[in-house]
Amino acid sequence: MAGAVFARSNYAKVGTAEIARAVGISEPALYRYFSGKRDLYRKTLAATGARLLEIWREVGARSGNPVEALRAIGLGYYDHLRERSPALRLFYEAIAEIEDPAIHRTVRENFRVLVGFVEAALDEGKARGLVRRDVDARIAAWHFMAIGLSFDLIHMLGLDAELDRSKVEAWGTLFLDSLTTDVGRTRS
């Protein structure tokens, strides 16, 4: 609930009274669980990152291979964004608060873990002969994250017409085909 409140506006504009109302508790009760708004924000970001990683792991476990897992994660991210997910906006908004050391550490850790997940999937793809051996998995993982941030930006700017699902699928194919061997090539 707090994540949705922060995502609707941003960290600086949201008051603890507004968050307490959204959660259904009094403002003083909020301070029994959190030392302040920054603590609540940081813990909300950490929990949101952990939940996103959990979703990605579930998608990966259901996929036939790591390349297909990345395709499914990318398309799922786009579909979720189109549903106006507050969690995705929360991450994007958090970048604006990066000057705060505690928030910086939390956002950095979230991205580090998510990039690590993608890197591990690509390394698994290499081991299975699906991803080209010359691909730097860390760079490709950051590229994957940059694509997701591009989706966020397009959406937040109200340019959704620029990027329908067929274009997202084509973008994903272009990205994944640049990394994969003939065996690992996938078509949506």
Domains and CATH numbers, the chain: 37-177 (1.10.357.10)
Is residue 100 classed as helix, strand or coil in its secondary structure?
coil
Alpha-carbon gap, residue 37 to 30, rounded angstroms: 9
Query: Could you tell me which residues come within 8 angstroms of residue 53 by beta carbon, excluding any fewer than 6 positions away?
Result: 113, 114, 117
Alpha-carbon gap, residue 170 to 188, rounded angstroms: 8
How would you write the pLDDT of the chain (188 residues) with one tens digit per residue? 788 888 777 788 888 888 888 888 888 888 888 888 889 999 989 998 999 999 999 999 999 899 999 999 999 888 877 666 677 778 878 888 889 999 999 999 999 999 999 999 999 999 999 999 999 999 999 999 999 888 888 888 888 888 888 999 999 999 999 999 887 676 54
Predicted TM-score (pTM) of the model is 0.87
